[in-house]
Amino acid sequence: MTSIERRDDPYAARPWLASYPEGAPADIDESDYSTLVDMFRASVGKYASNPAMESFGASLDYKELARAADSVAAWLQSRGIRKGDRIAIMSPNVLAYPAILFGVLIAGGVVVNVNPLYTPGELEHQINDSGARFLFVFENFAHTAEAAWSRMKVERAIIIRPGDLMGLKGLVVNFVSRYVKRMVPAYTLPGAVPFTQVLQAGAEERFTPVQIAREDIAFLQYTGGTTGVAKGAVLLHGNVAANVAQTWAWLKRHLGPSSPHRILTPLPLYHIFGLTACCLLSVMTGGCCILIANPRDLDGMIATMRRTPFTIFSGVNTLYAALVDHPKIKTVDFSKLLFCIAGGMATQETVAREWKALTGKAIVEGYGLSETSPILTVNHPDIEDFTGSIGYPLPSTDVSLRMEDGGVAPFGERGELVAKGPQVMPGYWRRPDETARVMTADGFFRTGDIAVMTPDGKFKIVDRLKDMILVSGFNVYPNEVEAVLIEHPKVKEVAVIGVPNEHSGEAPMAFIVARDPSLTRDELRKFAHERLTGYKIPRHYEFRDSLPKTNVGKVLRRALREEYLAHARTAPDEGRGMSVKTEIRS
């Protein structure tokens, strides 16, 4: 991409500032943030007796969380972990997770967040690529670690159990998980130690404080697994702490600085959205994270929502959609709910409309990536209705739209969204070639998303570059087609991809999860014909019981495309029907 002088870029004037919500600053001051360890220590000092984390009805206050984190840090240091060493965490949202996370950071280590739904091969790649020395693994997934153990260069495994840090109640939780629900497959991991032993031994160790700076690495956040081999986005303490400060500067006036908030957190902490926008934002502001270990268990999640008051809700489109459809959701009291945020994938207007009808609160959509810690843009926190846009760039964030030749897209025209700010990563872990591909000559990160800017400075994502469908020379954007089809009252979920077509090059194909089994292809064709230009109307329709999704519910269009192409190669003369098992991947 060619170099662009900032004075030639009309976006350099940051036209969105004129539409900022009252009280939101154009920039954050560097004094507003430091390292994540400093942030944690400050909150512990200020909110010592406030509840910090809740899980399965048990809670830790800030001083208890700090005590556990300090024990983890001391134990790691006593076992030879030094500043910059990588430590992997493979767990759902349980009380041990934040204690381990902050313990690693206090010890000067680098957290490698691992999706517990990984296959042994995926786990092997991430552990060996990161060079992680230790692996903290939830016992329900220890059999996966066992299957990859001989091929991983990890030194030791530490076993987490769901009841860890819960006291006596934890013994009951562990018993039910292991012996009643039988959720722990058998495993053998040489030299593995239980997390409880780490806490006990660490409490007796002498810890030597580690000097940590903003420029030190805090996380290797692996991404790109849906588009190729996963690579680690290097996130510095300064990147993530800045994004927490940017987000709070945007929300503070709306949410109020005096009352610590209770954030319902079904988004996994190993995902960048749940990590920053829920866990770390909550800790910085003295709030409480209500950890949901298994958001796919909607009955269990709704039971938690009924008994536990919450003021902030975070989720992705598919979770919001599943909740509004659940028969028990109307038993939940939403009277204390102040704010709802969505990210990770495009929120559909129908879902947002149904959520507001249920709760009285609009979904505030934000946008970002693992490489940007993650939030780049967000809507006004006090919107009355869903906007369908990704909102405005956060304070201290520069955004531009670029064309294929590297030139700047004129206002109102599509271009690739590129961004620069204190939250943007310095690069990928030991991948200078991959880093060079995603950075422009003038230092902007290329998101790979096509966007337009509205006259008031909001941005709207049109689609991913790679997902665009080219039909006889016309661009078709799957998000646009999906937004139309989801409006059909008998459609529950939809995903659109491009498939080869001998006449037009490509043609849209829609995968449908029906809300009503009476739905037919002819109904959908007629519905689409009334609302879409001819070349945008799907040529093919496939009905499914479910769609392939990531662990946070983002639909994997690429997986659908690969399934289609594989089927076409093995059965080219069979119709368009496919029967392919749906998988969950990161």
Element (H, E) at 96: helix 96-106
pLDDT of residue 258: 62
pLDDT tens by residue, 128-177: 999 999 999 999 999 999 999 999 999 999 999 999 999 999 999 999 99
Burial of 523 (0-12, 13-18, 19+ CB in 10 A): middle
> How many whole angstroms separate alpha carbon 436 and alpha carbon 9?
21
| End-to-end Cα, the chain, rounded Å | 30
Radius of gyration of the chain (CA): 24
> What one-character DSSP code corresponds to residue 584?
B
pLDDT score of 1 more than 80: no
What is the residue-averaged pLDDT of the chain?
Answer: 92
pLDDT of residue 213: 98
> In the block, which residue shows the tokens 């990590």?
275
Torsion of Cα atoms, 415 then 348 then 473 then 559, to 10°: 100
Residue 179: what residue type? Y
What would the two tokens of residue 35 be?
A: 């390292």
What would the two tokens of residue 503 be?
A: 């006449």
pLDDT of residue 128: 98
pLDDT of residue 228: 53
CATH classification number, 61-212, choose in 3.40.50.300, 3.90.1210.10, 3.40.50.1100, 3.40.50.980 = 3.40.50.980
Contact between 535 and 471 under an 8 Å Cβ cutoff? The reply is yes
pLDDT tens by residue, 521-543: 999 999 999 988 888 999 999 99
pLDDT score of 259 more than 80: no
Angle, vertex CA 469, rays to CA 465 and CA 471, nearest 5: 140
**% residues pLDDT > 70 (the chain):** 94
> How many whole angstroms separate alpha carbon 576 and alpha carbon 567?
9
Average pLDDT of the residues in 115-135: 93
Q: Using DSSP, state whether 137 is helix, strand or coil.
A: strand
Domain with CATH 3.30.300.30 in the chain: 468-570
Written out in words, the top-level CATH class of the domain with range 468-570 is alpha beta
Domain with CATH 3.40.50.980 in the chain: 61-212
Question: Sign (positive/negative) of CA torsion 188, 192, 197, 199?
Answer: negative
> How many whole angstroms separate alpha carbon 16 and alpha carbon 453?
9
Contact between 39 and 283 under an 8 Å Cβ cutoff? The reply is yes
pLDDT tens by residue, 62-102: 999 999 999 999 999 999 999 999 999 999 999 999 999 99
pLDDT score of 226 more than 50: no
Contact between 74 and 206 under an 8 Å Cβ cutoff? The reply is yes
Instruction: Tell me the CB-side half-sphere exposure of residue 45, using CA atoms within 13 A.
Output: 6
Contact between 202 and 73 under an 8 Å Cβ cutoff? The reply is yes
The 3 state secondary structure assigned to 511-556 is EEEECCCCCCHHHHHHHHHCCCCHHHCCCEEEECCCCCECCCCCEC
